[in-house]
Structures are given as C-alpha cells and as structure tokens.
Structure 1
Amino acid sequence: MYRNLILLLLISIAAYTNGNSQDRILYKEVDTTKLFMEVYQPGNIDPAKKYPAIVFFFGGGWVEGSMKQFEPQAKYFSQRGMICFLVDYRIRNKHQTSPFESLKDAKSAIRFIREYANRFHIDTSKIVASGGSAGGHLAAATALIVDYNESTDNLSISCVPNALALFNPVIDNGPGGYGYERIGKAYQAFSPMHNIKKGAPPTILFLGTNDNLIPVQTAKNYQGAMEKVNSRCELHLYEGQPHGFFNYKNFEYYKKTVSKFDEFLQSLGFIEQKEQLKIE
C-alpha cells in the first residue's frame, strides 16, 4: 500500500510540475480512504524562485463540507503569487470518523506540503494555514496542538505553519465551547484556546458579531491569550454578520475579508506591497 501511495504521489507531482494552473494530488491514504488536495499556482511559475503558500481547510463541524469552499480565495491569492492548496480530510458523514481523525489529516497535509516543498516551489518559511469554522480549528490546531499525529507521518517534518488566517474558527472546545459534547475531556489537548503558547504564529481572525456558534467574547479571549505570549493576533469583527459570512455567496464580505487577508500577508512580507488585484 505504501509503495502504491508513493507511486501515485510521484505521478501527481509530475503532472503538477508540467505547469498546470490547478491539479488534484493524492496526499494521504488510510486503509481504503484516499485523500486529495487541489493546488492553485500563479500563471507563470519561475522554477528558480520559492513562493509563499496557503493551505485551506473547509468548514462543516468535522461532519460535512467541501474542499471547494475556499476556491475563490485560492484563485485570488494564486494570482497574488502564492501556491494555494484546498485540502480534503476525513469527516463523519463521509468517513464515519471523529474530529480527531480530521486533525490528523490536517497535520499530514502540511507535512506533505513541506516534504515536497521543492517540487511545489514553496518557501517553507512562508506557509499559511487557513480555514473556516471547524476548518479554522484545524488550521489553528496544526500550529498549537502537539498530539493527534498519524502513526505513518514523518514527525521530523513540522506541521506548524508560519501564519494563520482564521474565519469564524472553532477555537474553544472546552466546556461551553463548540464540539465539547464530542471532544469531552480531551479538549485540554485538542482545543486551540487551551494550548496557546509562546511562539504561536501571527494570526488574523475574522468573525461576525451575530455568529450563533462562536461568541465575540471567545474571539476576544483568544486575542488576549495570544497577546499574553507576545504573539500577534488581529481580530476583525463584522457588525451583524452571521456564521459563514465570509463565503463567496456573500460577496460584499468575501471582498472585505480577502482584502484584509491580503493586507495581513503584505505586513508579514509574504506577498508584495502593491495595489491589490480586483477581487472578483
């Protein structure tokens, strides 16, 4: 099985390096489950250069969802000179799995991208993890959570991203927080809020003030905890907006959040400080 996986990886990466703007790549195989990621790259890749990357994780409560959720964002930021990945991972409705398997897959995805960074022309010091809702949890957890690693992963390869962009993220899984009924006492090792530590990556967090799942105070508490360990955390609140307000179908707020995301990446030196592209 392992040999077959490596063969498929090499075939997929070979297709990618032939200059396709978007490709589907197998990154993990667990029993009979194959997990893929879609890759969006700038139009004209210079093989001599290294590019920053964004890894997107879709939302859906670790139960449902589509890797296509962040396709508009991936298309935009690939035009801004980034390699973007839309990652599939195990979810309950499709794979009969728990949130713990979802996190294992998220970590595996970032390790895969780091392992093949040269093939993807990626600067491994400029990898951003991003996601919405439960996908936001996964992005934050790759940076903060030590446990829940796949037994087949090469743990010498870091799964910790260099920055985070979180869209109404599930960041508190403790008592009273989202998902506690499924996580239980494991929240202490699973909840990003309970594992913020020195060296946490710079973070931008987007939240609507009418979110019925993530209280504004939770986001403010997260920002405060980040600041206590001297880590940057920008919190952007959008008055009256509900959960999922940032999605493309809500175009006004899709544009606003993409624009702030762009500014954040400029401030980190991940993309050029120039006039933003038209957001469409």
Structure 2
Amino acid sequence: MKYLNLFFFCFVLSISFFNCENETINNSNNDLNPSKTYQELNISYGNDTDQIFDLYLPANRTANTKTLILVHGGGWSSGDKVDMDPIKDLIRQDLPNLAIVNINYRLADANNNPYPMQIDDITTIINYLKTNKIKYTISDNFGFIGTSAGGHLALLWSYAFDTQNNIDMVCSIVGPTNLTDPLYLNNTNAELQAMLDLYGVNAEISFLEEVSPLHRVTATAPPTILFYGAQDPLIPTTQGTNLRDKLENLNVTHQFTLYPYGGHGWIGLDLLDTWIKLKAFTQTHL
C-alpha cells in the first residue's frame, strides 16, 4: 500500500514547479492570530508515541473555517502521516482556505487489533478539535481524505461513528469497504491475507460486517467520493463498485471513478484527473 504516496509526490512536484510562492508560517504556540497562517507539528492526543497529528491553519480563518483530516494507509499496521504530506501540500496550494489535520494513529500488530483502536483514535482527534475550535478559530465541520487502509478508516468513522453529523464529506482512495467480500474471504494472496488477519483469523462474519463501511453506511451518510484501480492486486474492483451501488440505492451524494489501468495507485493523466475531481468535490461539499 506504499505506491500511492510516491505517485502523489511526483504529481505535487510537477504542479508546484509552476506555482511556487513564499509563505510565512507561524510556528509559535503563543501566537494564534487568525489573520496569520499557523502550523503546529506532532500535537499529542494520547500516551502512545503514534498518537500525534500535525495542524495547519490558514490565514484569515474564521469560526466557519472547515478542516480536512488526512488518514494515511499502510495496511493498518504501518505507514505514517508523512506519507500524506504531498496531498497536504496540494490542499494548501489549491484549497488555501481550509485547515488541515494530518494524523498518525496507533498501528496494529499481533497483540493490538485495528478495531476499535484506530477508530477510537480518530474519535479522540475529532473531540480534541471540537474542544479547541475557539482556540484555533475553526468550525466543527470536517472532511476526510484517506488512502488505502486510511480510506477504510475514514469511511467507517464517517458512516458509523459520526453521531453528531460533523463530517461534511469523505474521500476514499483505494480503501477497502467490505471485509465480507467473497474475493477477500476466498483469496489466495498471502500479503492481503496477512492484513485481513489483523481483524482476526477466522473472524465471525458479523464482526467483519461491523468493521466494513459497506455494511455500516446509511441514507444519512455524508457526500462520498471514491477512486479505485481496476488492476489493484489488494483491493478488488467490487470493493468500490459495491459501495457505489449502495450509495446510489440510498440516494447518498457520491462520485465514483475506476481507472482501467490503475493499480494500488496511478500516475500521469489519471492522477491529474483524481486531483481535479477531488478538488471540485471538496469545494462543493466542504
């Protein structure tokens, strides 16, 4: 699940070449003047070393300023918020009025299952931002962009745990949506199975449904934008198309793109297409 980040990095380099600007970043914890940009890295929200996030606040923000939360991938057991820095840079360049929170979360291993641990971490971050919204001069309205396992977490939290309707939009880029998919239950891919086993070897179907966005989505779900690659060795096309169809049946605002030659990430014009669509969707719904 590491390839997607390289593709975004290359894309950022290509467009930033034509749009380089000097900007002043306020790194002082004592100066949160809303007329100035503000950056604070590695804010702790728990006792674990992985429970940190980076905060980027735009200049001239108000109590209506909305926040995009970035959730990295890595098969629930690896990855880091630095992987999302290229997307963060794109947002700061093209959507400069948004605040950004780029998160780390506790990583799963043989002794620590992803669920509910990682969902609990997202809940803690959301609650932290809501508690400090006056301090940071932001609203309590948020959007998600998640890649791979981060896309799964973003969808699951938005569909099943947003009890106060704080999420205005959610984006999943090659995120798993249904752990009960027959193509998962009967797969022969050792790398894929090792990731799925983090949710339990021979886990009950009822539990796999509980951790699957496809089985948790309702008609009140936020607008959702999905991107998938038809050649992805880890995420079968059905992970995207089945959620697309359910969103359609529920009349949830959504947009779906399947790249015929895309794998677990893509480059070139397909990647440009991803950002154009994601930018427009964010501008409309966040």
Q: Name 1:135's counterpart in structure 2.
A: 150
State TM-score, norm by structure 2.
0.75
Q: Name 2:209's counterpart in structure 1.
A: 188
Give the partner amino acid of 2:171: A
Contact 1:206 1:257 in 2 (8 A): yes
Q: Name 1:261's counterpart in structure 2.
A: 278
State TM-score, norm by structure 1.
0.76
User: CA separation in 2, counterparts of 1:216 and 1:47?
Assistant: 40
- 74, 85, 102: which one pairs with 1:71? 85
Structure 2 residue 48 is the aligned partner of structure 1 residue 28: no
User: CA separation in 1, counterparts of 2:135 and 2:179?
Assistant: 36
Q: Name 1:56's counterpart in structure 2.
A: 70
Deviations 1:52-82 (A, max 9, x none): 2110010001110010122122122223211
Contact 1:208 1:243 in 2 (8 A): yes
Contact 2:52 2:103 in 1 (8 A): yes
Distance 1:239 1:113, change over 3 A: same
Alignment of 1:105-124 (within 5 A): 105-124=121-140
Offset at residue 202 of structure 1 (A): 0.4
Q: Relative CO higher for 1 or 2, CA cutoff 8 Å, sep ≥ 6?
A: 2
Deviations 1:223-262 (A, max 9, x none): 11112221112101112111033xxxx4654433121111
Contact 2:46 2:52 in 1 (8 A): no
User: CA separation in 2, counterparts of 1:242 and 1:15?
Assistant: 45
User: CA separation in 2, counterparts of 1:267 and 1:204?
Assistant: 12
After TM superposition, which residue ranges in structure 1, 4 or more long, deviate above 6 angstroms?
none
Alignment of 1:1-280 (within 5 A): 14-15=29-30, 17=32, 19=36, 21-30=38-47, 32-33=48-49, 35-42=51-58, 45-48=59-62, 50-79=64-93, 80=95, 81-92=97-108, 97-100=112-115, 101-125=117-141, 127-146=142-161, 158=164, 160-174=166-180, 176=182, 177=184, 180-183=196-199, 184-185=203-204, 186-245=207-266, 250=267, 252-268=269-285, 270=286
Give the partner amino acid of 1:220: T
SS at match of 2:279: helix
Contact 2:73 2:79 in 1 (8 A): yes
The alignment's C-alpha RMSD in Å is 2.6
Give the partner amino acid of 1:51: T
Q: How many residues align?
A: 240
Give the partner amino acid of 1:114: K
Contact 1:13 1:25 in 2 (8 A): no
Give the partner amino acid of 1:213: L
Structure 2: gaps (5+ residues) = 1-26, 185-191
SS at match of 1:99: coil
Contact 2:173 2:227 in 1 (8 A): yes
